[in-house]
Amino acid sequence: MSLAIVHTRAQLGIDAPAVTVEVHLSNGLPSLAIVGLPEAAVKESKDRVRSAILNSHLEFPARRITINLAPADLPKEGGRYDLAIAIGILAASGQVPTDPLASLEFLGELALSGHLREVHGALPAALASVASRRHLITGTDNGREASLAGAEYVRTAANLLSVCAQLHGRAELPHPEPYSRQPIAYPELQDVRGQAQAKRALEIAAAGGHNLLMFGPPGTGKTMLASRLPGIMPPIDLRESLEVAAICSVVGESNPESWQQRPFRNPHHTASAAAMVGGGTVPRPGEISLAHGGVLFLDELPEFQRQVLEVLREPLESGEIRLSRARAQTCYPARFQLIGAMNPCPCGYYGHDDQRCRCTPDQVRRYRGRISGPLLDRIDLHVPVTAIVPTELGKAPAGESSAAVQTRTVATRQRALDRQQCANAQLSPPQIETVCRLGKAEHLFVESAVSKLGLSTRAYHRVLKVARTLADMAGEEMIERAHLAEAISFRSLDRGL
């Protein structure tokens, strides 16, 4: 047979569109041409495939070989097509049977020796392969990652020769070891002494999915508190965990041992806008996508470049980021909780009881002005973190454990999911009118507070969302005045404090 068709997968964001490798052998001078919008690494596969076939003691046909990667308008990049191209050449030349190829997909880069190397994006390819009811054959190094889609649908091979043995029915390629959930060790909230108000805000943020900004002098535990948030958030569900694992797979940071652990990303304040949201000629995910399902912690928030902070505004609302480039348009999920930490002034000691602040009022205003009003509006909770005298630190009683707090946040989040199928922080304006309905007295109270503080409509809605979470934490059906008052108390930066 001079024509063979083999199935594989491309990579487009966290999607894996199907690619059909069509191999045709014809008479003429020996040559190999690859068409279908291949980039440099794909064009170079002809040399890798030729050496891999010969070093596997198979015959490379001395004929005119045309390889089409369909669809032709989808850009192809990387060495992920090597195995599919090699199998296509062997099938077209009659060295392996073609009957099994219809139910299989192939993914892997070939070494010159014929061994299979790891490629990025194996998990999205495995998920798409399972959805199309085909089995995936990939390299051994990609096996554990691909097994997250279902180990029974994946087979792993060390080299090209073992794949050929599987197609001939002479040997069975092994399935990867099924994933078994490992205990997740988050930092323990009990390690934080004192800071009752900050811990309260942290629990509210975990229960309702709210964004949080902590401000206070250096060394008061802001970073320590932020790192404890993933441990008190509700456990990540299957859908989110697969999305997180798929994003990590695309950037080559896949770790199947921690695929059900909520991410905690802590980029340095020198990070660029492209590093934060993603970018490149072929768009890659940035920090906000790597934090999907977890926490994006921005320490020293005013030290970030203004343009870097402003690019966060749209993803905070939409939960995704759309990257448009000349070659491709890609959408990555980016539903994260933003946790910020900042000093109250450049020297850090504005309002400190013992340390004297050296900053002028203009310096303090300029420092705080680095965070724009629209971004501050999107942060639900503003929490002061006060200094604790070292001599009192040892006397402070140990607080609750992360497990105890998580039990409450799970119950609170479940109330919201049962009512509106999303966390309170994700309520849309029409949902707010229904879910956050207020009594007449409560409505007058919050109207008066919003007017005095000069809050925007967005900030007003954020107050209602936090109040709804506080009511859920108390097991109340209706939002009461106490819930509104506490929610408003967490807008301290709007009050100029």
pLDDT digits (tens, 9 = 90+) for 211-251: 999 998 888 889 999 999 999 999 998 888 889 999 999 98
Encode pLDDT of 158-172 as tens digits: 999 999 999 999 999
Could you tell me the domains of the chain? 3-168 (3.30.230.10), 189-400 (3.40.50.300), 427-497 (1.10.8)
In this prediction, residues 122-141 reach a mean pLDDT of 95
Cis? peptide before 346, omega within 30° of 0: no
* Residue 138, SS3 per DSSP: strand
Whether this prediction's pTM lies above 0.95 is answered by no
Residue 349 has a pLDDT of 79
Confidence band of 284 (pLDDT split at 50, 70, 90): confident
Q: Which amino acid is at 349?
A: Y
Lowest mean pLDDT among 70-84, 131-145, 154-168, 279-293: 279-293
Residue 497 has a pLDDT of 45
Given a contact cutoff of 8 angstroms between Cβ atoms, the answer to whether 339 and 298 are in contact is yes
Question: 199 burial class (0-12, 13-18, 19+ CB within 10 angstroms)?
Answer: buried
Does the pLDDT of residue 391 top 70, yes or no?
A: no
Encode pLDDT of 403-456 as tens digits: 999 999 999 999 999 999 999 999 999 999 999 989 999 999 998 988 888 888
- Let me know how many helices (H) and strands (E) the chain has, helices first: 22, 18
> Tell me, what DSSP letter sits at residue 76?
B
Lowest mean pLDDT among 20-24, 338-342, 491-495: 491-495
Q: In Å, what is the CA distance from 53 to each residue of 35, 43, 86?
A: 21, 17, 7
- Give percent of the chain above pLDDT 90: 68
Instruction: Indicate the average pLDDT of the chain.
Output: 90
- Choose among 381, 406, 287: nearest CA to 336: 287
Residue 299 has a pLDDT of 93
- Choose among 195, 190, 151, 191: nearest CA to 174: 151
* Cβ neighbours of residue 339 closer than 8 Å, sequence gap 6 or more: 205, 211, 212, 213, 214, 226, 229, 295, 296, 297, 298
Given a contact cutoff of 8 angstroms between Cβ atoms, the answer to whether 119 and 107 are in contact is yes
In degrees and rounded to multiples of 5, residue 10 shows phi and psi of -90, -175
In this prediction, residues 112-125 reach a mean pLDDT of 95
